[in-house]
Amino acid sequence: MSDYTTVLTTLQQIAPEAHIAGGAVRDTILQKQIHDVDVFMKDEHVEEAAALLRSSCSYVKVGEWKQYLEFSDPAMTRVAKFEKADETIPICIIGLLPSFANPKDNIARFDFYPPAETLTHARMLRVRARLPYPIGPPDVFAMAVSVGARAA
């Protein structure tokens, strides 16, 4: 997937708190191959987000789990995995308990230094363009910023 911001901005139409965190963002920064894109949101938005992902982006649900990849996370309510015929990178919609749906609260749960794993949309574009990428809070916390909402 060359650009997952379209998926994120589409899902933010019904789940404004939706954000991408984890391996896809880390791999974007490190310029490595992305294996999947995890989009986190409140559990109450997962069903509607799944329908929107199918109708607007042509993804098909291939599975749903309460536990995923041999771990269970008390903040996560479920994981729904989607694939697309002409895409090799699946999208995972991850439902969260309301208290963890805010990007900062969700990312605080991870066992890593947050800026190494997550970044704003504007920063992601700078990384892709191979422009300097100064890491520093509070600008770098999650991909929850809409396209064009912040200057790089």
pLDDT computed for residue 110 by the predictor? 65
Total residue count of the chain as it appears in this document: 152
For residue 119, the model assigns a pLDDT of 46
d(C-alpha 140, C-alpha 152), whole Å: 11
Is-contact 53 108, C-beta < 8 A? no
Q: pLDDT means per 10 residues in the chain (152 residues)?
A: 78 94 83 90 95 93 76 79 90 91 78 45 56 45 39 40
Give 63's Cβ-side CA count (13 Å radius): 10
Question: How far apart (Å, rounded) are the C-alpha atoms in residues 7 and 123?
Answer: 17
pLDDT at 129: 62
> Residue 40, SS3?
strand
Fold for 5-128, please state it: Beta Polymerase; domain 2 (3.30.460)
Residue 6: which residues within 8 A CB-CB, separation 6 or more?
A: 57
